[in-house]
Homo-oligomer: A and B are copies of this chain.
Amino acid sequence: MKAANINLLKEQLPDYLPGVSLDCVILGYQNQNLSLLTMQWDQGNYFSLPGGFIRRDEDLSMAAYRVLEERTGLKVPMLTQFETFGEINRNDRSFTNHILKRFNITDPKIKDWFEQRFISVGFIALVDKEQCTPGSDMFGNTSSWIPIDQLPPLILDHQEMVTSARSFLKKQLNYFPVGSALLDEKFTMKDLQILYETILEKPLDRANFQKRMLKLDILIRHEKKMDGGAYRAPYLYSFNPIRYRELLDRGIGY
């Protein structure tokens, strides 16, 4: 962490609401795999979700977009609130103490701020990993993608947040703009199916998936994709953006 910026932080603390924070569970999809956007502390000794505080002059939901961008550089089209975490023992002093010592922070104002109990609002987004390059925040902490099944231990109750967010996503998948932002402009039916299978963590029947998706009338069929494989060439599809938006409100697919 950079010392100069810690002083800057100290000056800014009064601009933030005390006791409330937010954390973002950002799931990145690429190549049949989900990754979690993770922040690294203290050269990789600690890992957390990207999170932060709410300014006194901004909405909670706006704060989520700002925090995510400040910490990781990511601009996402939609962040959805999924749960608020307020257990008394969710604050793990050991992490806070370690960070305060590690960076020699003795200023009582900053100490008090970080040692206070926080209630944290959880937000979730699902993005195309390829189009998002995680960066660093003003303290030099870096963010990066970690495959969801290779997560290190996360600080505080962040692991629980991830679990809750994924279960939320499965239930709400029909109301998420899953396809349009996560796939290339043109994609095959198999690409779309794998995306759904990855999120739902279960196999889907190829034939039934295809019929279901086509019946929704949100796909435009294009030319075939001749990729040189020794098999029938699959069609390429793109989303019909108008129909897509219409359907999002009512729920799409599975």
On A, residues with C-beta under 8 Å from B are 17-20, 54, 56-61, 63, 81, 83-88, 117, 119, 121
Contacts and interface: CB of A to CB of B under 8 A. Distances in A.
Contacts of A117: 17, 56
Count of identical protomers in the assembly: 2
Contacts of A20: 19-20, 86, 119
A34 B16 CA distance: 40
Nearest to A81: B84
A34 to B, nearest CB: 25
A109 to B, nearest CB: 16
Contacts of A17: 19, 117, 119
9 contacts: A19-B20, A20-B86, A59-B87, A59-B88, A60-B86, A63-B86, A81-B83, A84-B84, A119-B119
A212 B121 CA distance: 38
Nearest to A89: B59
A117 B59 CA distance: 11
Contacts of A56: 117
A11 B65 CA distance: 38
Contacts of A119: 17, 20, 54, 60, 119, 121
Contacts of A18: 18-19
A54 B117 CA distance: 11
